[in-house]
Amino acid sequence: MAITDLEPNQEALARREAVRTNGLERYRRMVEIRAAEAKIREFHSAGQAWGTTHCADGQEAVAVGLAAAAKPTDSIWIAHRVHGLGLALGCSLESVFAENLGRQNGSVGGIGGSFHLTEISVGLIHSFTIIGTQLAQAVGGAYAAQVQGSEMVAIAQFGDGAVNIGVFHEALNLAKIWNVPVVFLLENNHYAEFTRVDRMTPIEPLASRAEAYDMPWSVLDVQDVNDVRDGLGEAIDRARSGGGPTLVEAITYRYLGHSRSDPAAYRPAQELEAWAERDPILVNGRHLVATGMATEGELARVTEEVDSTIEAAAEAALAGPPPELGAMFANVWAPDR
Ligand SMILES: Cc1ncc(C[n+]2csc(CCOP(=O)(O)OP(=O)(O)O)c2C)c(N)n1
Ligand SMILES: [Mg+2]
């Protein structure tokens, strides 16, 4: 069966449309992502999920801003910090939880785990584990769109740790030479595993590397979901209208350690506290109240509603059976001999 034969996932499409069109829904999705990641950590602490997991607390505005800017027909090639991106782009809570728990009702049937959320109906293509891989793959996707004359834009999301990997340079160079419709979204959360960005890379801003490839670039120094949407939207529009690739750097901050086992003790004192004052949920909540789009009471109600959906989705996810043993051989391609 080809990917194009899959039935569209109407729930994922509706969840995506909500964040594209409704400001309060963008707020709700960020609250949902924060709460969902806390729940995923609970699954691990309780021994219900195993392996490691990477959370993106503090980075919700990038995920939801991206979901609001891109069309569901665009393809989005992501790195390993996946839960927020998956939920923002349209995955349901149950499918994200169940994938983390290794259950059949997970996004890819429970065989992928935390890294491998996929939802083709809304263009979400899973992480490939080796840092930077997705930059080249997105250029390939964009090249296909160019050859086929489709409207699709490919977006590669990656971290500050990927900019010193060879494939970053190869992908930017090729994208520019072929003028393909791709946006490189560099999510600078200040750390790659345990190393601060300024100990790895001698230039600032990182996005200025695009100049070596005669490529437009921008820096979104914000924790504001609407600014992310607008800044990325400009790059996506340029790509869609034949203007070629752009490198967009979204400056953000990772509240927790790299993965579950990292307490982030290497962080300078007060750094986290300073970023927490510009927390994306707080910033957006203040904006909604200041512009009369919501009251404090409505925002509090959103949090209560999200909390109850988290519990219901966790129960549904835990009720799913584990994959059959044979699932490891499904969807595996081998040439005829
Ligand atoms: C080629 C390669 N080198 C090292 C690793 C191990 N590794 C996994 S995540 C990570 C850090 C990546 O940092 P960044 O790109 O900033 O993303 P973030 O974790 O901050 O989201 C590293 C070094 C890997 N997966 N692939
Ligand atoms: Mg990083």
Do 255 and 38 contact (CB within 8 A), yes or no? no
Backbone angles phi, psi at 24, to 5 degrees: -70, -30
Decide: helix, strand or coil at residue 247. strand
Q: Does the residue 1 lie in any domain?
A: no
User: Residues, the chain, total?
Assistant: 337
- What residue owns the CA closest to ligand 1's atom 22? 193
Decide: helix, strand or coil at residue 152. coil
Q: Does the residue 251 lie in any domain?
A: yes
Six token digits for residue 29: 């999705």
pLDDT band for position 200 (cuts 50, 70, 90): very high
- All residues at 6 or more sequence positions from 219 whose CB lies less than 8 Å from its CB, including other chains: 205, 207, 248, 249, 251
Q: Lay out the sheet containing 217-220: strands in order across.
A: 124-125, 75-77, 154-159, 182-188, 246-251, 217-220
Q: Does the residue 330 lie in any domain?
A: no
Strand partners, 186: 158, 249
Residue 237 lies in domain: 7-318
Closest atom of ligand 1 relative to the 132 alpha carbon:
1
pLDDT digit string, tens, across residues 129-155 = 899 999 999 999 999 999 999 999 999
- What's the pLDDT score for residue 4? 62
Decide: helix, strand or coil at residue 191. strand
pLDDT digit string, tens, across residues 282-293 = 999 999 999 999
Distance CA 84, CA 66 (A): 11
DSSP 119: B
- What's the pLDDT score for residue 60? 98
Six token digits for residue 185: 């979204």
Ligand closest in space to the Cα of 158: 1
Q: Does the residue 100 lie in any domain?
A: yes
* pLDDT, mean of residues 70-76: 98
Six token digits for residue 110: 């429970």
Instruction: Return the best residue to mutate from 81, 83, 193, 252 for the ligand 1 pocket (most ligand atoms within 8 A of CB).
Output: 193
Distance 119 CA to ligand 2 centre (A): 24
195-196 and 191-192: which strand pairing? antiparallel
Which helix (H) or strand (E) segment holds residue 86: the answer is helix 83-89
Six token digits for residue 180: 């393909």
Decide: helix, strand or coil at residue 105. coil
Instruction: Return the best residue to mutate from 62, 131, 157 for the ligand 1 pocket (most ligand atoms within 8 A of CB).
Output: 131
Do 141 and 134 contact (CB within 8 A), yes or no? no
- CATH code where residue 133 lies: 3.40.50.970
Q: Does the residue 249 lie in any domain?
A: yes
Q: Which residue has the tokens 């782009």?
A: 89
Overall number of domains in the chain: 1
- What's the pLDDT score for residue 337? 66
% pLDDT > 90, the chain: 90
Q: Does the residue 332 lie in any domain?
A: no
